[in-house]
Amino acid sequence: MQDKSKKEILEEYRIRRKELVDFYFKIVVGIGVFLSFSLLEVKEKFDLFYILGIPINSIIYAIHKEYSYEYKEARKKYFETLDLEERKKFKKVSFLDILGDFSMVMIYLLFWTAVILKLGVEIIVYYNKIK
């Protein structure tokens, strides 16, 4: 009975890991599409990025938080089923954890930096029009 639950936990861990990797892949593809649109000669491309980016970024954050939480819970359960020898080989913090969290933080920082710069430019332009 213990082996069956251990196999189920391992399978759940692998599924959650695959879902998280797929999510990161989709984010990279989405950023590529977004950047390709930004290379086009569209007059209002920054406004499009600004208007669509805020809700998209909020949705991405919520999805990432959910996937990351499920993956970390499955990883924790799997780690608890391992015996002492296997625990020594198993890394508590994987490269996926570090790279995924770092990349998502960078995306958020870049996006919100762009939003703040956009607001700053609008304030400067408005201030110069008043003078």
HEC string of 31-49 equals: HHHHHHHHHCCCCCHHHHH
Sign of the torsion formed by the C-alpha atoms of 67, 105, 29 and 14: negative
Q: Are 114 and 51 in contact (CB under 8 A)?
A: no
Count other C-beta atoms under 10 Å from residue 123's C-beta. Answer: 10
CB 92 within 8 A of CB 45: no
Count how many domains the chain has: 1
Model confidence pTM above 0.85:
no
Boundaries of domain holding 26: 2-130
- pLDDT per residue as tens digits for the range 53-95: 777 777 888 888 888 888 888 888 888 888 888 777 777 667 7
Output the pLDDT for position 2.
52
More confident residue, 20 or 48: 20
Q: How far apart are the first and last CA of the chain?
A: 79
Lowest model confidence (mean pLDDT) among 34-43, 83-92, 110-119: 34-43
pLDDT tens string 94-109? 777 777 778 778 777 8
